Amino acid sequence: MKEAKQHKRRGRLPKIEVVDLFCGIGGLSYGMKSKGFKILEGFDLDKTCRYAYETNNEAKFVCKDIRKVTQADIKPLYSKKSIKILAGCAPCQPFSSYAFKNKNKDASKYNLLYEFGRLVKEVQPDIVTMENVPAIASFKLKSVLADFVKLLGDEGYHVHFQVVYCPDYGIPQTRKRLVLLASCLGDITLMPPTHTKDNYITVRDTIAVLPPIEAGGTCPSDPLHRCRKLSPLNMRRMLATPYGGSWKDWPDDLLLECHKKSKGKSFGSVYGRMVWEEPAPTMTTLCTGIGNGRFGHPEQNRAISVREAALFQTFPITYHFFENEDEVSLVKASRYIGNAVPPKLGEVIAESIRQHIRKNRYEREKV
């Protein structure tokens, strides 16, 4: 009887509440919400993200510069007996390899992660999670990541971070992201991978069921399944690109001048087609243009559509990006989707936190 009672107690977790910094259109929040977490508010400087964030996450969007956000904006949001999570993905552009090489020339770009650290120190949440590009870990001794980790340690948090290869967790793109988890409850880690190369989610698994469309066209039943128009020259290039190929397969008269130079030859994937049997490449803010990566459809003579990009990012087809999706800006939609945390990765983070809370709650009960 005693063991059964303990098991019952362990299954009843406290309320888990989240405040999301740099929330964008809400990919991370949505993934955590899908695991039963209560999303309280999202903060972001881009006011155009408000509709998507609030509509899909049932949480308030606050348009405010993080430099002006204080504990007074966040602490009153949490319930007294809840597990309090402060989540965020500071904009990744400052942490590119190029930016690191020029760190001393523009140190102000790194302030956003320091501001996140300031808020952790002020708010004292139970758990912190951050997601960013792997390059942020390239300078472990002197980088802003090291400073952030030290701050967390000084505040009594157990810290874990690792580079995640997204296909290992059922995300159909070759995205690599650094995920950090920190907890004052005890040691915390990311859950083990759920997939291997033998069962990665592929391009075919993700978009093969969508109706075919032409370059510049829109699916009548899905206004987000639309793609860019191609110029006559780029259509010739698309037609000359075989399955899984790229500009390297073109005749000389279709090559760009940059591809004829030694530096240009290193960009082998641009103007490339995806293949059905593998995950898609990383979705970027320019993922709906064929000249920006391997963003050509495997068979149809066009770049991928907004809907396809969203599905590769694991946004469900029910996710609302715009109040009027018949007037979709391809540039804006690509930026929203490329900048987002894949909701599926948000689910993985949330499940890792859930397992961590359950484990530490059980261990405390045993003492």
Task: Supply the residues annotated as catalytic.
Answer: 92
Is the separation of the CB atoms in 131 and 163 below 8 Å? no
Q: Where are the alpha helices (DSSP H) in 35-68?
A: 50-57
State the Cα torsion 11-12-13-14 to the nearest 10°.
Answer: -170
**Could you tell me how many residues make up the chain?**
367
Query: Shortest CA distance to 175 belongs to which of 29, 344, 333?
Result: 344
351: how many CB neighbours lie within 10 A of its CB? 18
Task: Give first-to-last CA distance, the chain, whole Å.
Answer: 19
- 173 Cβ contact list (under 8 Å, min separation 6): 166, 167, 279, 280, 281, 282, 283, 312, 313, 342
Please give the full DSSP string across 244-286, using - where no structure is assigned: T--GGGS-GGG--GGGGSTTGGG-TTTTPBP-TTSPBPPP-TT
The C-alpha atoms of residue 223 and residue 328 are separated, in whole angstroms, by: 8
What single letter denotes the amino acid at residue 304? I
The helix/strand/coil state of 193 is coil
The C-alpha atoms of residue 351 and residue 60 are separated, in whole angstroms, by: 23
What single letter denotes the amino acid at residue 76? P
What single letter denotes the amino acid at residue 23? C
The C-alpha atoms of residue 20 and residue 58 are separated, in whole angstroms, by: 13
Query: Shortest CA distance to 177 belongs to which of 291, 24, 348?
Result: 348
The C-alpha atoms of residue 148 and residue 137 are separated, in whole angstroms, by: 11
